[in-house]
Amino acid sequence: MNEERIEPIKVIIADDHVLYRAGVKTSLSIRKDIKVIAEADNGMHLLNLIKNIDVDVILLDIQMPIMDGIATLPEIKKIAPNAKVIMLTMVDDNSMITKLMELGANSYLTKTSDSEIIYEAIKTCFEQEYYFNSLTNKALLSNLKQKNPVVPHQLVPQEVLLNDKETTILRLMCEEKSTKEIADMVDLSPRTVEAIRDRLKVKTGSKTTAGLIMYAVKHKIIEEI
């Protein structure tokens, strides 16, 4: 049965390396549900673009001339508040990751990430607001251990009681397992797993998967990442 095709996710790549942009664009071009609609070589160029172009997801390099990704991020949120922003970098820096997520970043990838990871991050950010990986989880966990954690207010979890099944599913979500993988591991249908995930959001007062991850981190459902 043919499914009705929906409009592709509109992506802009902002990076000062032409070859990197070309590589990402080429790898994404085979995806029917994503369309790279523009490219920018610095933050100022990007901001001028999004004043006139509707974009869903922005791949934003941290280190660029004229205006870098850190300075650009807050301005993106003013011009296009609904756009999801995935930061790109060569550096794994916990404090930087936390700072960027506080400023509104939706994910953080190293530039060595393969095309499958980039595709997954774009899709997940677009559909669920945040894409978590070992870098972001480790940074958030490290941040929560500090005396005065700086956690985006929308990610702060509420105190609730979870049953064993809910705890198990939440832990597997933190391990980046897909709905189908979780369903197979706990011997439930994918639809039931999705229902439990939705119930977890209600119980924790989380609007997104991000809130659930933060709950798991703060309440030591995941001890180490």
| Residue 137 included in any domain | no
| Residue 146 included in any domain | no
Q: Which residue has better confidence, 126 or 133?
A: 126
Please name which of 102, 132, 116 lies closest in space to residue 225, comparing C-alpha atoms: 132
Are residues 74 and 103 in contact, defined by beta-carbon separation less than 8 angstroms?
Answer: yes
Residues 91 and 120 in one domain: yes
Summarised one tens digit per residue, pLDDT across range 3-25 is 444 789 999 999 999 999 999 99
Range 102-119 average pLDDT: 87
Task: Determine the structural domain holding residue 37 and report its residue range.
Answer: 9-131
Write down the pLDDT at residue 208. Answer: 67
Number of structural domains the chain divides into: 2
Of 74, 100, 131, the one marking the end of a domain is 131
**Partners of 175 in the β-ladder:** none
| Residue 145 included in any domain | no
| Residue 17 included in any domain | yes
Given a cut of 60, whether residue 149 has pLDDT beyond it is no
Are residues 107 and 86 in contact, defined by beta-carbon separation less than 8 angstroms?
Answer: yes
Domain CATH for 81: 3.40.50.2300
Domain CATH for 214: 1.10.10.10
| Residue 22 included in any domain | yes
| Residue 136 included in any domain | no
Summarised one tens digit per residue, pLDDT across range 61-100 is 999 999 999 999 999 999 999 999 999 988 776 677 777 8
Residues 164 and 95 in one domain: no
The three-class DSSP label of residue 91 is coil
| Residue 71 included in any domain | yes
Residue partners of 160: CB distance under 8 A and separation at least 6: 203, 204, 205, 215
Are residues 56 and 30 in contact, defined by beta-carbon separation less than 8 angstroms?
Answer: no
